[in-house]
Structure 1
Amino acid sequence: MPPAEGAVAPAPRSTLAARLGAVPWPALALAALAIATFVGFLIYPTYPNYDSYYSLIWGREILHGHLPSFDGYRTPTEHPLAVFFGAALSLLGRHGDRVMVFCTEASFVVLCAGIYRLGRTAFTPLVGLAAAAILCTRFDFPFLAARAYIDIPYLAFVIWAAALELERPRRGGIVWVLLACAGLLRPEAWLIIGLYFLWMCGGELGPEHRAHPPRERWIRWAKYATWAAIGPLVWVLMDFVVTGSPTFSLTHTTGLAEELGRTKGLAEVPDATRRFFLNLAKAPVLYAAIAGFLVALWLAPRRVVMPAALWLIGTGTFVMVGVAGLSVIDRYLLVPTLMVMVFAAFVLGGWTVLRPGLWTRRVWAAAALAVIVYGVVFTATKVNFHNFDSELTLRGNSHRSLVELLDRPDVKAAVARKCGPVSTPNHKLVPDTRWIVDGSDREVVARADPTQKARVARGGVSIFVVDRGALLRQALVATTDDPFDNVPLPGYTKVASTGYYAAYVRC
């Protein structure tokens, strides 16, 4: 028989132990993380990624009274809440992009607090702290925050909704708000909020509600349905108003996934799932999570329900996305990866669920300490921090170099003369350039777009990538990219260059 669940009264502690226990470690850790994140924001002045720049651009178009250009060449899928947020930030002018990065990095701090809250509520405070620490050491997540990926605020909404619901089952209220916001950022949240709708409706059928008039029950069910429908309805309505097709996001995403080679057949999904989990969580954390889940299932089976449910929902959604022919990328497994971290954290802090004084508790704690020491040594000796540093530095320096180029007098004069479109090798630099020059989808184009080649040949301003690192990330990113799209066309003359880019003009 497994040990009884629930904490028991702790044994009397020494004065030193009592003093250490009185220290608000979680609050101190959160403050340290917030300070470190802000320092990182200043040291690494990065800028939004491809999708997030489009959210800013589309928001600016709305403020200017235009329909957003959702159907441009290789444009990403729009995310309504991100577009609304981008509209607000576009009021700040060019500085809106850096504010977006700041808000996303702040969301990462909120996410870490949420994963702590979930681990603490499901198991113990030490498990929560360990889960948050593991999250901070998975560099993919801070990198997403530094590039203003919407995945970070999306994860914060989902994890906090789960933590608050776990604290008070069928809580409603703030949980509905958080899940509705998540559903306006990513459609995967629709499954979560749909299951929450069923969970809330099921509570109305309990014995404590049977005495209530059926009319009151139906009113509450209608209210739950309204919350659950916010995400899909807003998404469909936005698609219809802007493009005339209520299913534009689905069809556009499917077509783009096929063009970029991101689709997977059903037979390939299991291997992709395994590889993505290993890439995001890394092998030691993944194996620890398997052990942590099994031990937690034996010691405290009811406590694993919420993390296990989120893992199943997230992984199941990823499989359905692959079967549907949509883009299969590792970021779609972020929610279950966070649950992997929670179960791995149970290996490190799960000994706190045992009764004080048990020899197994002391042995487990000592083993956990040894694992932590090993993890620190392994990370310090094996992880290449230089790659993380160089990647962030490249992203920031290349964007500032593009701004410098487009602000050169000769380039600005050529753009103002409207001799033709401003063109970039492919789609990757289009949103950055559009944001900087405040150009429309007709004024800034990709030379890889076959519908624009004739216009570009007649004249305009052509931007070329001259730095090797930027070339691999911005000019040769897809197997269909033609290297000659980054070669000047006849009749164009070089007018300016920076460390990363060069501008040629034909007018």
Structure 2
Amino acid sequence: MPPADAAAATASRPNPATAPEGGRFARVLGLPWPAILLALLALATLIGFFVYPMYPNYDSYYSLIWGREILHGHLPSFDEYQSPTEHPLAVAFGALLSILGRHGDRVMVFCTLASFVVLCAGIYQVGRRAFTPLVGLAAAAILCTRFDFPFLAARAYIDIPYLAFVVWAAAFELAKPRRGGVVWWLLAAAGLMRPEAWLIIGIYFLWMCSGELGADHPDAATRWRRWAKYAAWAAIGPFVWVLTDFVVTGHPFFSLQHTTGLAEELGRTKGLAEVPEATRRFFLNLAKAPVLYAGIAGFLASLVLVPRRVLMPLALWLIGTGTFVLVGIAGLSVIDRYLLVPTLMVMVFAGFTLAGWTTLRPGWWVRKVWAIVAFGVIVYGGVFTATRVNFHNFDAELRLRGNSHRSLVQLLDRPEVRAGMRCGPVSTPNHKLIPDTRWILDASPKQVIARADDRQSDRIKQGVSIFVVDRGALLRQALVADTDDPFDNVPLPGFHRRAFTSYYAAYVRCR
């Protein structure tokens, strides 16, 4: 090869190791710009926490309730009417927060919002360590604009801290392959929050074991001891989960059976033939079309330019998508939140579409053209988001969730309602308001029931009946599924209204 051609080939070859860290823009006021942006995100999140006083979702309230039951010396009520699947680490965290009394729910929301900031930092680190800092920044920026994720955080969904554990485990492993240590801790914690992490930690177990093979590695006895230690780490999640189910319910696989039954009851099961379409639809819902297409383009580009650096994001995408398919085949709930991990990897690859030009050596014309095109894509993405996202609806949804909960607190604290509880249980239209009501009243499962539960047909004829009177709350808490009976939100004969707020009304009957 002539010298000129060799020099041109060298200039065009990707070299992430020498990619610029940001040049003259790398530091602002003496601080690295990623740190400044992270601080601004944390500040915006803190402001949002106070501007929109949100409360936990259905599942997270149950974690608080179960944790409180444990502190009171009772076994948690895992098998109540349409209760969600328990998650051991979430229950333990709920027990800790329940010490704070009613304020524990708001602290849970704060911790989940903080987890979202940590997650954004983790996505930045994955993009930076797999590719370049600008790729990581682009991926984190995309995450912040996918409003489903911050909304999950604002409602204290367990998915956000779970994602933070998984993403940071990947970031640490990228920094030092076969690192062990902190990676084991993070994956074990993730395995106590969602069973999907069991497949991730199982594959990491095989990865760590493979590193012990070869002539330059320890003798057989030492190797077997290390493998046993790795196996113990990988078994923490399944072991604690099964042990918890057995101690509480007497059935070691209660969570699996309960989840399957609940999925069928709520209509969340999918046949194998429906899984591909559900996968496509959920990816589009979570990432949105421009990010999904940019992710595909970024994956193909990175596969050509830096194939070895693709491995970690690709592995997490394959594991996450494969787990979703297996969940569908097993007849468990098929919901979009099970695709959150692979969706994050789509964002990383989309970040490569926007900033992958930083993996090329400076001065090459392709790098300049790519940067110009990426800028055009960013403008298009901004216009797409601004024209399709209804920020008024987003604001209204957040305010509805917060205001309705505070309205329920006001209703249940009324003396007339407390007096009516002496006449019988508190009943709600269906299962949706049960955890909120139990948390506010510090009530047992027998004290708060659902009128939709056929087993309670005799008990709902007296006591306190809660009814939803606001249209927005009605569609989210009383008429959620096609199977919900509108008459469950209509007072029975003999009940008289004793208290009301802008969202709810309480009727009482004493025999």
Shorter-chain TM-score category? Answer: over 0.9
Q: Is the 8 A contact 1:157 1:182 kept in 2?
A: yes
Pick aligned residue for 1:308 from 308, 314, 317: 314
Structure 1 residues 275, 213: closer, same or farther in 2, change over 3 A?
same
- Aligned equivalents of 1:286 and 1:21: distance in 2? 36
Q: 1:122 aligned to 2:145?
A: no
Q: Is the 8 A contact 2:120 2:143 kept in 1?
A: yes
TM-score, scaled relative to structure 1 = 0.96
- Aligned equivalents of 2:429 and 2:21: distance in 1? 69
Q: Output one character per residue of 1:134-179: Cα deviation in whole Å (capped at 9) or x when no partner.
A: 0000000000000000000000000000111011000000000000
Q: Is the 8 A contact 2:27 2:33 kept in 1?
A: no
- Aligned equivalents of 1:80 and 1:382: distance in 2? 39
Structure 1 residues 28, 12: closer, same or farther in 2, change over 3 A?
closer
- Aligned equivalents of 1:440 and 1:425: distance in 2? 18
- Aligned equivalents of 2:166 and 2:419: distance in 1? 48
Aligned pair count reads 501
Structure 1 residues 401, 367: closer, same or farther in 2, change over 3 A?
same
Q: 1:88 aligned to 2:96?
A: yes
Q: 1:143 aligned to 2:151?
A: yes
Q: Output one character per residue of 1:265-311: Cα deviation in whole Å (capped at 9) or x when no partner.
A: 00000000000000000000001111110011000000110000000
Structure 1 residues 182, 374: closer, same or farther in 2, change over 3 A?
same
Q: 1:396 aligned to 2:402?
A: yes
Q: 1:224 aligned to 2:230?
A: yes
1:192 is displaced (CA, Å) by: 0.3
Aligned match of 1:195: 203
Pick aligned residue for 1:266 from 265, 269, 272: 272
Q: Is the 8 A contact 1:8 1:355 kept in 2?
A: no
Structure 1 residues 216, 264: closer, same or farther in 2, change over 3 A?
same
SS in 1 for 2:216: helix
Structure 1 residues 148, 402: closer, same or farther in 2, change over 3 A?
same
Pick aligned residue for 2:475 from 453, 456, 472: 472
Q: Output one character per residue of 1:179-209: Cα deviation in whole Å (capped at 9) or x when no partner.
A: 0000000000000000000110110003320
1:264 is displaced (CA, Å) by: 0.2
Q: Is the 8 A contact 2:416 2:499 kept in 1?
A: yes
Q: Output one character per residue of 1:16-37: Cα deviation in whole Å (capped at 9) or x when no partner.
A: 6687797511001100000000
Pick aligned residue for 2:287 from 278, 281, 287: 281
What letter corresponds to residue 455 of structure 1 in structure 2?
Answer: R
Aligned match of 1:456: 460
Aligned match of 2:343: 337
Q: Is the 8 A contact 2:178 2:208 kept in 1?
A: yes
What letter corresponds to residue 252 of structure 1 in structure 2?
Answer: H
Q: 1:36 aligned to 2:39?
A: no
- Aligned equivalents of 1:251 and 1:222: distance in 2? 30
Q: Is the 8 A contact 2:15 2:361 kept in 1?
A: no
Pick aligned residue for 2:431 from 427, 435, 442: 427
Q: Percent of pairs identical after alignment?
A: 77
Pick aligned residue for 1:6 from 15, 25, 28: 15
- Aligned equivalents of 1:329 and 1:397: distance in 2? 27
Pick aligned residue for 1:59 from 58, 67, 70: 67
- Aligned equivalents of 1:443 and 1:325: distance in 2? 33
1:4 is displaced (CA, Å) by: 3.9
Q: Output one character per residue of 1:397-441: Cα deviation in whole Å (capped at 9) or x when no partner.
A: 0000000000011111222x2x11100000000000000001111
What letter corresponds to residue 76 of structure 1 in structure 2?
Answer: P
Aligned match of 1:346: 352
- Aligned equivalents of 1:119 and 1:434: distance in 2? 43
Unaligned runs of 5+ in 1: none
- Aligned equivalents of 2:383 and 2:155: distance in 1? 28
- Aligned equivalents of 2:227 and 2:206: distance in 1? 9
The alignment yields a C-alpha RMSD, in angstroms, of: 1.7
Written as runs of structure 1 = structure 2, the 5 A alignment for 1:150-165 is: 150-165=158-173
Q: Is the 8 A contact 1:314 1:336 kept in 2?
A: yes
Q: Output one character per residue of 1:442-471: Cα deviation in whole Å (capped at 9) or x when no partner.
A: 1100000000111111x1100000000000
1:382 is displaced (CA, Å) by: 2.5
Aligned match of 2:296: 290
SS in 1 for 2:494: coil
Q: Is the 8 A contact 2:19 2:358 kept in 1?
A: no
1:374 is displaced (CA, Å) by: 2.1
- Aligned equivalents of 1:442 and 1:134: distance in 2? 46
SS in 1 for 2:506: strand
Instruction: Decide which moves more: 314-323 or 361-370.
Output: 361-370
1:8 is displaced (CA, Å) by: 5.9
